[in-house]
Amino acid sequence: MGKVALITGITGQDGAYLAEYLIKKGYTVHGIKRRSSMFNTERIDHLYQDPHIENRNLILHYGDLTDSLNLTRIIGETQPDEIYNLAAMSHVKVSFDTPEYTANADGLGVLRILEAVRLLNLTSKTRIYQASTSELYGLVQEVPQKETTPFYPRSPYAVAKLYGYWITVNYREAYKMHASNGILFNHESPLRGETFVTRKVTRAVSRIALGMQDNLFMGNLSSKRDWGHAKDYIKAMYLILQQDQPDDYVIATGQTTTIRDFITMSFEEIGLGIEFINKGVDETAILREVNEKTFKEKVGDNYLEEITRKIGKLLVGVDPQYFRPTEVELLIGDASKAKRQLGWEPKYDLKALVSDMISSDLKLMKKEFFLKSGGYQVLNYFE
Ligand code: NAP
Ligand code: GDD
């Protein structure tokens, strides 16, 4: 018999990669999905199995981190060997708009899971992974950040996650539960939500290349992030739960990059050279040159003429609506404990991550472009 895992947040970026990874390892995976007015399962549709199939290895349950009765029932019914608590209102900027909900889901939600495991007498069977975050370091007290660096959260999201972190440690110590925190630094992928900065950029760069969009407006260009690939990071989650002893681990690449440089790298990936000029809210980026060979290779001959006409034009501007009331300016992690104890190391560097995201978004946007132009043709035909 393979192991049973329960993943909260299975419809999210990490949930989708982790579900696929665990199924390949022979697990039966149960996932908790919120009810929504649309399916919202695109990231896991390739794993979906009809409920009439026997011995399914992916089973979805409706649930919500704000509903303890429902969580307790699902945990009782599924009797998981491992719980990966990935569900969260995960957008830092949005947490300033929805602070109470964020505290409920991201803070108390963790308590609900731990307490359900305890009340169901599963403490010696069920191992728990809590999705903690580098946002805990906020106004950083040490560079680089490691497991012993003091926390200084800077958003309602990070404060809620701080509660999640400590309640996990407390249940481990109080009830001897196998409960661990992964303190993961930013990780991205083609499945990243469209409103996080990397995906916002790689989508926009693809659309600009195809002539679907003229320019892109951003918030703070100077903050720095330690970005890795989600495919590497979900492996660390798995490894953390395979250890004999529960513990907390920083997962990071050890490299940090500004948002500005991430944007430059993304344009470079398709042969577009941009230059940032001016400062603060007046900062902009202009298209300076087109490397025709790279552009043709990555994007296609058809779009070259139009992009060449944009040389000297504004591609990136700043819009203060994307600024945060309190910002996390610098994140860079030291994952040497994870390397030493888990044998974990990332395979992707930032260039490979950018390349993966841009090539995926170019494909997606081309499809959208094609469907749209096809749609217009049909409309014109009937007019
Ligand atoms: P994500 O793509 O935003 O996915 C979040 C998941 O949580 C989605 O499945 C979402 O469902 C679900 N969810 C939100 N609120 C819920 C609620 N009240 N009840 C049940 N499910 C709920 O996030 P991610 O990037 O995969 O991150 C996974 C976890 O790691 C999160 O806890 C995040 O805070 C944490 N984390 C992420 C990073 C990172 O860089 N990605 C770094 C450190 C920590 P819907 O699909 O219905 O919205
Ligand atoms: N989203 C967004 N949109 N961010 C922007 C923009 C923009 O237009 N312009 C600049 N930024 C800056 C933000 O101000 C922040 O400094 C940085 O880009 C990264 O923002 P996000 O990609 O939204 O991620 P985050 O670092 O705030 O939070 C992510 O990583 C955390 C781990 O450190 C999320 O995945 C969190 O859930 C996660 O805990």
Is the pLDDT at 372 greater than 90, yes or no?
Answer: no
Mean pLDDT calculated for residue range 164-192: 99
Residue 33 pLDDT exceeds 50: yes
> Could you say which of 133, 149, 198, 253 is catalytic?
133
Answer yes or no: 238 catalytic: no
pLDDT band at 206 (very low <50, low <70, confident <90, very high): very high
For residue 93, the CA-to-ligand 1 centroid distance in Å is 14
HEC assignment per residue over the chain: CCCEEEEECCCCHHHHHHHHHHHHCCCEEEEEECCCCCCCCHHHHHHCCCCCCCCCCEEEEECCCCCHHHHHHHHHHHCCCEEEECCCCCCHHHHHHCHHHHHHHHHHHHHHHHHHHHHCCCCCCCEEEEEEEHHHHCCCCCCCECCCCCCCCCCHHHHHHHHHHHHHHHHHHHHCCCEEEEEECCEECCCCCCCCHHHHHHHHHHHHHCCCCCCEEECCCCCEECCEEHHHHHHHHHHHHHCCCCCEEEECCCCCEEHHHHHHHHHHHCCEEEEEECCHHHCEEEEEEECHHHHHHHCCHHHHHHHHCCCCCEEEEECHHHCCCCCCCECCECCHHHHHHHCCCCCCCHHHHHHHHHHHHHHHHHHHHHHHHHHHHHHHHHC
Whether the predicted pLDDT of 145 surpasses 80: yes
Is residue 308 annotated as part of the catalytic site, yes or no? no
CA of 380 to the centre of ligand 1 (A): 42
Confidence of residue 212 (pLDDT cuts 50, 70, 90): very high
Nearest-10 crossing angle of helices 109-119, 156-175: 20
Task: Indicate which atom in ligand 1 lies nearest the CA of residue 191.
Answer: 2
Is the pLDDT at 383 greater than 70? The verdict is no
Q: How far, in Å, is the centroid of ligand 1 from the Cα of 90?
A: 5
Name the closest ligand to CA 320: 2
CA of 195 to the centre of ligand 2 (A): 9
pLDDT tier, 1 (very low <50, low <70, confident <90, very high otherwise): confident
Instruction: Answer whether 0.95 is exceeded by the pTM.
Output: yes
pLDDT band at 339 (very low <50, low <70, confident <90, very high): very high
Contact 344 CB / ligand 2 (< 6 Å): no
Active-site option among 20, 82, 135, 269: 135
Which amino acid appears at position 361 of this protein?
Answer: D
Report the percent of the chain where pLDDT is more than 70. Answer: 97
Atom of ligand 1 nearest to the CA of 10: 9
**Residue 375 confidence (pLDDT) above 80:** no
Whether ligand 2 lies within 6 angstroms of the CB of 140 is answered as: no
Report the distance separating Cα 196 and Cα 90, nearest Å.
Answer: 10
Pocket test for ligand 1, best of 86, 134, 234 (most atoms within 8 A of CB): 86
Of the listed ligands, the closest to the CA of 84 is 1
Could you tell me if the CB of 218 is within 6 A of ligand 2?
yes
| The pLDDT value given to residue 370 | 77
- Residue-level pLDDT at 166: 99
Q: CB under 8 Å to 161, separation ≥6 — which residues?
A: 88, 106, 107, 132, 133, 135, 136, 153
Is 21 annotated as catalytic? Answer: no
Neighbours of 360 (CB within 10 A): 18
d(CA 234, CA 12): 12
**At residue 379, does pLDDT exceed 80?**
no
> What region does 140 belong to: left with phi over 0, alpha with psi -120 to 50, or beta?
beta
Q: Is residue 242's pLDDT more than 50?
A: yes
User: Separation of 328 CA from ligand 2 center, angstroms?
Assistant: 9
In this predicted structure, the answer to whether residue 366 has a pLDDT above a threshold of 50 is yes
Binding-site residues, ligand 1, Cβ < 6 A: 8-9, 11-15, 32, 34, 36, 40, 64-66, 86-90, 105, 131, 133, 184, 186-187, 193
Q: What is the mean pLDDT of the chain?
A: 96
Question: Quick one: which of 53, 26, 220, 226 has its CA closest to 134?
Answer: 226
Nearest CA to ligand 2 atom 12: 220
Tell me, what's the pLDDT at 378? 46
Output phi, psi for 67, to 5 deg: -125, 95
| Given the residues 17, 157, 171, 233, the one annotated as active site | 157
Nearest CA to ligand 1 atom 35: 131
Give the whole-angstrom CA distance, residue 300 versus residue 337. 45
- Residue of the nearest CA to atom 34 in ligand 1? 90
Residue minimizing CA distance to atom 13 of ligand 2: 220
pLDDT digits (tens, 9 = 90+) for 43-60: 999 999 999 999 999 999
- 89 contacts 45 by C-beta, under 8 angstroms: no
Contact 84, 5 (CB under 8 A): yes
